[in-house]
Structure 1
Amino acid sequence: MKNQINISDFKHKALNWANQFDVCCFLDSNQYKDIYSAYDFMLAAGTAKELNASANQTFEELKTFYDQNKQWIFGFFSYDLKNETEDLKSENPDYLTFPDAYFFIPEYLIASKNGKIEILIGDNTVLKEIEAFKLPQQSKSKNLTIQQRLTKDAYKAKVEALKQHILRGDIYEINFCQEFFAENAEINPIHTFELLNDVSPTPFAGYFKSHGQYILSATPERFLCKRNQKLISQPIKGTAKRSLNQAEDLRIKKALRADIKEQTENVMIVDLVRHDLTKSAVKGSVKVDELFGIYTFPQVHQMISTISCDLDPSVHFIDAIKNAFPMGSMTGAPKVKAMKLIEEYEVTKRGVYSGSFGCISPNGDFDFNVVIRSILYNATAKYLSFQVGGAITYQCDAELEYEECLLKASAILKVLS
């Protein structure tokens, strides 16, 4: 069933309605035009079935879960599933304690395309429920003292140490991140997400609630999607700040497009993604559809490339996700050595940060983002966290890398203040 509705009002009310459930997921393109998105937004609420995967079996159990149900599935993969795909470990402190993966089949699923609302799971009474739903009073965030796990000097010293690994030939590039956090944090997750989505609307934004654990995301990056037999990955490498002066903003954008350092970082990750897709592709079908595309968001310009392939019919699409996970833009090259050094030099377990959340459709198409520019919140532990990072190459300047971290954190810091 399809209806014409004020979409902005509907999204606000529907998200508050969905938040009554222990589990819900909202995926929002914020009206960005994207040829691969099936819907402008999707809202899944309630759990008809859940998958809490056991250690070392996540991808196999998800495969079985999909094959047995062939239904819409929503969920997230944490970065630490790297330990299932490679001989790696995660021993840094984990203050959020999210599961390594969580998936559910919703009781209700609402989607929208071109201003029309569609009920994909459930019946029309759900729209009446949403319309009649009384919005709760907005509680304000309390006790938010944002701290940094690393001092500026400690961050820069680690960057210099990583550059020595590059000089020795251990790696070419590494994605190095740092955590901002708040203890005894009490926030209104929906209000915080909506503020973030207003300040920084992005094409793969989302709200994920699972039993008191929340992902509030303004991510601009797609990890991997499947449309029919085609796989598409769109890694981001290359960032430049916006200017309020239109002429200067255009100059910054052109300078990013021509920046050799940023191009070098981007092409390394493009090669890595090509290699990851080759494991799942019809031979000879991997191609770079767009190299060094420049895309503009409220706080930053980003350099984004698009790589695609045809999925080998003998490869299960869940294995294609596994073969590309974690995403190259958040690891480095060579991938395994970079992940070992990430574990050594970072001081917090990444968990869901630089993992992915999204959905799988009944026909086996899927779309998953990259969890960056995102607030992670454990309401029971009252612990709030977000991480930011960037690509470290031998040419990089530690001071500038630190400034880029603050630029990437700016939207979240603005919202939390």
Structure 2
Amino acid sequence: MKSLTILELEYKDDTSLYFEHFIELPYPYFLDSSAFNGTHSIYKDTFSRYDIITAAPAKHFTAFPGGKLIMEDFVDQTKRQVTTNTPLNYLSESLERMSLIEQSAENSDLPFQGGLVGFWSYELCEQIEPERILPRDNDTPHISVGLYHWALVTDHKKRSASLVFHPDIPEKIKAQVLQSLDTERKAVNPSSFKLLKAFEPTQSRAEYQTAFQAIQDYIAAGDCYEVNLTQRFTTHHTGDTWEAYKKLRTTTLAPYSAYIKRPDMEILSHSPEQFIRLKDGKVSTNPIKGTRPRGLTPESDLAIANELKSSEKDQSENLMIVDLLRNDLGKVCKTGSVSVPRLFALESYANVHHLVSTVNGELDDHHSPVDLLESTFPGGSITGAPKIRSMEIIRELEPVARTIYCGSIGYISCDGTMDTSIAIRTILSKDGELHCWGGGAIIADSDCDSEYEESITKVRNLMNGLEDHFLAR
């Protein structure tokens, strides 16, 4: 086995200052726990401990609708296209070719030691379930994942920062990384980002009501028990979205935040929701189902939180998704290992309270981390139950593609460690437009007006945060 090269750096509470050294390299990723701004989760040690920065992959894979896969090799400076129905296989094969790392006390706490970093769009479901989910016309990647041999890992618990190099890293990429670290941070004009108008919904309220009633009819007919219905909000902008992300991360604290930059788009994610975590063969997922806005006073906030905790409707929604995820994990976990140690726990964030449960399991030795991702994707908390039928209904009723929204962002390390989010509270910047989405679970006793308002509540802080600071007036 080979060893990592680890260089200790100065610890910074605000790791965005480090990211700005690498933001102009190809395919930069900032996996941001938001811990710089204080505690915001009772699970801080687990969810808000690490920030991970990387860029300049050795290879990058972009899968588009229709099975087109673009592979870029940044060592050989080549690009080629292949046609495949199994793009996830390419990710597994690339990861398996990386050299094994000797584990030691020095690297035992490192969450990422080199491997895959990227995002998986919600629309990937049409390639995972091609017989059931009809293709949707859109030009946003289904998969955008790089093979990275280095990362700058900040541990907020230990208050340390480490520049980590995998032994397989090409020398030209290592030199590029070190040079970028020694170069002054990118200068960004704080006034360069502007919204040209306020966010507007893609659907009218009447169209939302029509979709809501269609779901009620499907539930009454026995097609499904729960469907996650979402709507999109859109505006136009100019300038650098990194400045917008930095502003939002000061007000929208979320342990699974991320900033991603591709040549054709940027992603600004402020997600509170973990999708799948894998460490030492142990699997966990933490679905969110049940939401209330924060109160305006401490007394009203407490009353709202208590009402959510005791809501039978929200507990019912949450339990349906817990059962769905138990089934998903059961496909790839050891028999009898799936359990639910936490049910209907309250978590509070800047704009909302959530009910969150935890489902655990132990990955079967015959399955890889990519198998685990594929068997559970997309997350049940943003589809409904039963899962595939709910996705068919979503495809029928939602007029525009979700793209990155309700997909997943994260990493799979070469040592088998994986951590991914569900990309809710997420903004897509593409072709001068900003898109964000909000939604919620529809069950038999849901109220249309309440669900419509909840879909707005979930992203109001994102839209207001940008409009208050950047709307051209």
2:31 — aligned with what?
Answer: 27
SS of match in other structure, 1:306:
strand
Hey, what's the Cα distance between the residues in 1 that align with 2:120 and 2:445?
32
Are the counterparts in 2 of residues 39 and 111 from structure 1 also a CA contact under 8 Å?
no
1:310 — aligned with what?
Answer: 362
2:117 — aligned with what?
Answer: 74
SS of match in other structure, 1:283:
coil
Please list, as runs of the form range in 1=range in 2, the aligned pairs for 1:95-244 lying within 5 A after superposition: 97-106=139-148, 108-113=150-155, 114=157, 115-121=159-165, 122=174, 126=178, 129=181, 132-133=184-185, 135-138=187-190, 139-183=192-236, 185-244=237-296
1:395 to 441, 445, 453: 445
Structure 1 residues 314 and 107, CA gap change in structure 2 (3 angstroms): closer
Runs (5+) with no aligned partner, structure 1: none
Shift of 1:312: 0.6
Q: Which moved more, 1:108-117 or 1:359-368?
A: 108-117
Are the counterparts in 1 of residues 11 and 154 from structure 2 also a CA contact under 8 Å?
no
With structure 2 as the length reference, what TM-score do the two structures score?
0.82
Shift of 1:360: 1.2
SS of match in other structure, 2:248:
helix
1:89 to 124, 127, 133: 133
Shift of 1:59: 1.6
Are the counterparts in 2 of residues 144 and 186 from structure 1 also a CA contact under 8 Å?
no
SS of match in other structure, 2:375:
helix
> Does 1:413 pair with 2:419?
no
Q: Which moved more, 1:27-36 or 1:125-134?
A: 125-134
SS of match in other structure, 2:371:
helix
Q: Which moved more, 1:28-37 or 1:394-403?
A: 28-37
2:304 — aligned with what?
Answer: 252
1:322 — aligned with what?
Answer: 374
1:5-56 deviation per Cα after TM superposition (whole angstroms, max 9, x unaligned): 3322xx2322222221231111111224445459520111222221234352
1:395-417 deviation per Cα after TM superposition (whole angstroms, max 9, x unaligned): 00000001101101211111221
Identity %: 28
1:328-383 deviation per Cα after TM superposition (whole angstroms, max 9, x unaligned): 001100111101100000000112111001011120111010011010011xx222
1:253-286 deviation per Cα after TM superposition (whole angstroms, max 9, x unaligned): 1111110000000000000000000001110000
1:301 — aligned with what?
Answer: 353
1:275 — aligned with what?
Answer: 327
Amino acid at match of 1:79: Y
1:46-69 deviation per Cα after TM superposition (whole angstroms, max 9, x unaligned): 222212343521221111121123
Q: Which moved more, 1:47-56 or 1:401-410?
A: 47-56
With structure 1 as the length reference, what TM-score do the two structures score?
0.93
2:50 to 40, 43, 62: 40
Structure 1 residues 403 and 159, CA gap change in structure 2 (3 angstroms): same
Hey, what's the Cα distance between the residues in 1 that align with 2:384 and 2:141?
24
Are the counterparts in 2 of residues 240 and 253 from structure 1 also a CA contact under 8 Å?
yes
SS of match in other structure, 1:329:
helix
Are the counterparts in 2 of residues 144 and 416 from structure 1 also a CA contact under 8 Å?
no
Shift of 1:3: 3.7
1:60 — aligned with what?
Answer: 89
Shift of 1:212: 3.2
Runs (5+) with no aligned partner, structure 2: 1-6, 36-40, 64-68, 70-83, 100-113, 166-173, 468-473
The root-mean-square deviation of aligned C-alpha atoms, in Å, is 2.0
Shift of 1:89: 3.4
Are the counterparts in 1 of residues 47 and 256 from structure 2 also a CA contact under 8 Å?
no
Structure 1 residues 226 and 65, CA gap change in structure 2 (3 angstroms): same
Structure 1 residues 18 and 276, CA gap change in structure 2 (3 angstroms): same
Hey, what's the Cα distance between the residues in 2 that align with 1:275 and 1:335?
10
Please list, as runs of the form range in 1=range in 2, the aligned pairs for 1:10-21 lying within 5 A after superposition: 11-21=15-25
Amino acid at match of 1:99: P
Structure 1 residues 346 and 161, CA gap change in structure 2 (3 angstroms): same
Hey, what's the Cα distance between the residues in 1 that align with 2:96 and 2:409?
19
Amino acid at match of 2:251: V
Hey, what's the Cα distance between the residues in 2 that align with 1:106 and 1:246?
45
Higher RCO, Cα 8 Å, sep 6+: 1
1:7 — aligned with what?
Answer: 13
Amino acid at match of 2:153: A
Hey, what's the Cα distance between the residues in 2 that align with 1:79 and 1:125?
31
Are the counterparts in 2 of residues 80 and 90 from structure 1 also a CA contact under 8 Å?
no
Hey, what's the Cα distance between the residues in 1 that align with 2:21 and 2:268?
17
SS of match in other structure, 1:281:
coil
Aligned residue pairs: how many? 410
